[in-house]
């Protein structure tokens, strides 16, 4: 599209124009425009039910009852909130599932190695812990060498410690692979930790769009992120007290 303001056509990983998706006449996505640049890590924030997961499913090609233009790369992969491993396939077979041709087990093992799961390649999914299963699911996405990696709250079901590790892993993998990532989340801190750009979805459109510039690696709660954090929370409709609350009331 010549009117594209985001740069040369070839560097876009996703272009969406006028996307509408309605459930029983009620539009969840309503004339949405979105451009994702190649290699960019974008976080998509929003309340539950705001349509962010629906948008991800549209981009993944899983939801096709849509109107509008959606352009996505051919090679794309999804990691869902639940690992969704086939319980009847050993881990390495799960990783290779759906790959064209007859790939060798070593292909799967390389991807599993990358997520630190090389030693569980021959295990049944039922024997994996929650974090391990989620990493296997990530390996399954990465082995496809996607140009666009779609992450649908992949850390949502993990415990706090495992989540920190998994977030670090995703950051590393993204820096190594350089693919465009769209991370759907409702966690503002997670978005600020990982993303180059944060989007807030509201009323079926991208209501707020901001770059996240502080240098990496970032730590949650760093001063450089505080202002952006408040702003994003405000966009999400969460009002914060003007002064950070402490245990002692200030003297008047």
We find the least distance from the C-beta atom of residue 100 to another protein, in angstroms, to be: 8
We find the least distance from the C-beta atom of residue 69 to another protein, in angstroms, to be: 21
Alpha carbon distance 93, 25 (integer Å): 41
Query: Could you tell me if 236 and 200 are in contact, meaning their C-beta atoms sit under 8 angstroms apart?
Result: yes
Which CB, 9 or 86, lies closer to another protein?
86
Alpha carbon distance 234, 84 (integer Å): 34
Token pair for residue 123?
Answer: 């295990």
| 183 is an interface residue for another protein by CB under 8 A | no
Alpha carbon distance 54, 62 (integer Å): 9
Q: Using CB under 8 A, which of 1, 9, 97, 222 touches another protein?
A: 97
Q: Using CB under 8 A, which of 7, 98, 211, 221 touches another protein?
A: 98
Which CB, 9 or 97, lies closer to another protein?
97
We find the least distance from the C-beta atom of residue 126 to another protein, in angstroms, to be: 4
Which CB, 1 or 86, lies closer to another protein?
86
State the Cα torsion 202-211-174-168 to the nearest 10°: -80
Query: Phi-psi category of 181—alpha, beta or left, where left has phi over 0 and alpha has psi -120 to 50?
Result: beta
| 38 is an interface residue for another protein by CB under 8 A | no
Spatial CA neighbour of 55 closest among 27, 83, 24, 84: 27
Which CB, 86 or 222, lies closer to another protein?
86
| 110 is an interface residue for another protein by CB under 8 A | no
Query: Contacts with another protein in 57-76 (CB under 8 A)?
Result: 60-62
Which CB, 59 or 166, lies closer to another protein?
59
Stretch in the footprint of another protein (CB under 8 A) among 43-51, 97-105, 176-184, 202-210? 97-105
Query: Could you tell me if 101 and 90 are in contact, meaning their C-beta atoms sit under 8 angstroms apart?
Result: no
| 107 is an interface residue for another protein by CB under 8 A | no
Token pair for residue 51?
Answer: 């349509």
| 207 is an interface residue for another protein by CB under 8 A | no
Token pair for residue 156?
Answer: 């949502």
* Residue 189 Cα distances to 71, 129, 165, 243, 246, angstroms: 29, 25, 15, 19, 20
Q: Using CB under 8 A, which of 37, 89, 105, 165 touches another protein?
A: 89
State the Cα torsion 60-64-69-70 to the nearest 10°: 0
| 122 is an interface residue for another protein by CB under 8 A | no
Q: Provide the binding-site residues for another protein, judged by CB under 8 A.
A: 60-62, 77-78, 80, 82, 84, 86-89, 97-100, 124-126, 140, 144
């Amino acid at each position: 599209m010549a009117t594209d303001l985001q740069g040369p056509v070839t560097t876009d990983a996703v272009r969406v124009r006028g996307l509408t998706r309605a459930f029983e006449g009620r539009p969840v996505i309503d004339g949405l425009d979105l451009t994702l640049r190649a290699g960019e890590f974008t976080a998509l924030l929003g309340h539950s039910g705001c349509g962010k997961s629906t948008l991800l499913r549209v981009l993944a090609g899983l939801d096709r009852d849509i109107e509008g233009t959606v352009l996505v790369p051919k090679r794309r992969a999804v990691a869902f909130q639940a690992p969704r491993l086939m319980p009847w396939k050993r881990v390495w077979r799960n990783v290779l599932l759906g790959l064209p041709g007859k790939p060798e087990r070593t292909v799967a093992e390389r991807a599993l190695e990358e997520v630190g799961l090389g030693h569980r390649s021959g295990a049944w999914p039922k024997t994996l812990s929650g974090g391990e299963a989620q990493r296997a699911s990530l390996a399954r996405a990465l082995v496809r060498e996607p140009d666009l990696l779609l992450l649908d709250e992949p850390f949502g079901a993990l415990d706090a410690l495992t989540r920190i590790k998994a977030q670090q892993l995703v950051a590393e993998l993204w820096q190594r692979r350089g693919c465009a990532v769209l991370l759907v989340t409702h966690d503002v801190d997670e978005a600020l930790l990982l993303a180059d750009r944060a989007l807030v979805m509201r009323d079926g459109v991208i209501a707020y769009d901001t770059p996240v510039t502080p240098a990496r690696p970032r730590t949650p709660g760093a001063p450089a992120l505080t202002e952006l954090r408040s702003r994003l929370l405000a966009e999400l409709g969460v009002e914060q007290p003007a002064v950070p609350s402490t245990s002692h009331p200030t003297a008047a």
